[in-house]
Structure 1
């Protein structure tokens, strides 16, 4: 498999020789083992692999939520590994969006307040036109004053997607974003992520265990035992399921 170098300007996020080890000595566990991979701007990529393959660790390192033991990490063409905590906090606030399985909405705030919260914490005002477009696109116009407990799971996740997209980050990370949704709501969220990549030029990176969800992506990156195990371009459900079965059988 050909892996692009972090210096390539078409890449929104890139890792070179990324390694993550937990513990030391004989009990040390290597969750990522010399992983080099790039993610193009304006593309939707799914990361998949068997349990324990390192897919969540890779996403956490790419998103700067975890610190790699060694290797280089770039975001928007700039090296970000080695930044101190304050710089990483600013980077995540200004340049990275997150959509989690558990929604992570503030229960005491309305949908609208949840959407604008990251910008308010940064002391910034939202772009009114972009906010209005997102609200219309996500079908949230009649739900903005409702609190999370008054929304369905699909509506809560749409609020989380709007919150992630409003600051126009370099990259949006999804951690099992359809894991708590029924099939209809999950498909709706996946269409929104597709549109964000293909129409708005966002870079979307999603960890999932679901071949149906992965088939919504432009590309699937496969991991096994902390190492790259291949990729699928323009994935189909059957292709993804077969690839995961092969990786599992090889365990």
Structure 2
């Protein structure tokens, strides 16, 4: 396990510079992120992990423009999110960011195909048929496109949600516990599709997870503790991720006894 964040460089999809987030004020102030600087490279699959309260979800929300920072900067490519107004942020999220959540968030009255193409419809943009065909074939969904969500398994619904997130060719996809509602077999299937979207389609994915097995599908794991970067694990395995998390717990225990 290294102790430095991924350095910024050419091909950075999204980055944070001296990012701090404080909730509340005075005696009840809670620092969720403390001066975090990190970058996520284009075409890379990164998992963010850490104990409960470590700041991993806060970091993802700030990187995605879903929450505002107390101080510091967030850049999507060369666009600084922290200077944008609400309307500009809404447009940016719609056009340049994809989201995959633990709950599939599919519209029940729409077919799989209609759910996948919904972002383009809402943006009033033409559907890129060639790109969507590539997604459908990569995720093996062609025989399910006319089915509504109730007729799909959990794993199939999450595949539709991933294809929807990728449909506009976003700069980065943020995935928040994407296998949290799936059994182990469906979860492995979904994680394989996420990894394929990176390796075969050039997508950039940042995933928050608590599961070492899920994190091992990523190219690297970023560890957070007490709102700060605690290390990174390159080419992770379930065992190396568990060792990294155990090391964080040991540090927390030692700090608590001191």
Category of TM-score, reference length = shorter chain: over 0.9
What residue number does 1:18 align with? 19
Distance 1:3 1:241, change over 3 A: closer
Which structure dedicates a bigger proportion of its chain to helix?
2
Unpaired runs of 5+ residues, structure 1, are: none
Cα deviation, residue 107, structure 1: 1.2
Shift of 1:5: 6.1
Say whether residues 1:178 and 2:184 are aligned partners: no
Residues 1:48 and 2:35 aligned together: no
Q: Which runs of 4+ in 1 moved over 6 A?
A: none
Contact 2:33 2:58 in 1 (8 A): yes
Please state if 1:200 is matched with 2:182.
no
TM-score under structure 1 length normalisation: 0.96
Contact 1:116 1:166 in 2 (8 A): yes
* Alignment-derived partner of residue 243 in structure 1: 244
CA displacement at 1:4 relative to structure 2: 5.6
Q: Give the CA deviation at 1:73.
A: 0.8
Kindly indicate whether residue 153 of structure 2 is the aligned counterpart of residue 152 of structure 1: yes
User: Aligned partners of 1:244, 1:97: CA distance in 2, in Å?
Assistant: 28
Separation (CA, whole Å) in 2 of partners of 1:202 and 1:146: 26
* Aligned-residue CA RMSD (Å): 1.2
Give me the TM-score of the superposition, normalised by structure 2: 0.94
Aligned to 1:132: 133
Cα 1:10/1:109, change in 2 over 3 Å: same
CA distance in 1, matches of 2:196, 2:157: 18
Q: Distance in 1 between matches of 2:78 and 2:222?
A: 21
> After alignment, is 94-103 or 197-206 more displaced?
197-206
**Secondary structure class of the residue paired with 2:47:** strand
| Distance verdict in 2 for CA 1:44–1:204, change over 3 Å | same
Q: CA 1:82/1:147 → structure 2, altered by over 3 Å: closer, same or farther?
A: same
| Gapped regions of structure 2 (runs ≥ 5) | 253-258
Q: Judge conservation of contact 1:5–1:16 (CA < 8 Å) in 2.
A: no
Give the total of aligned pairs.
Answer: 250
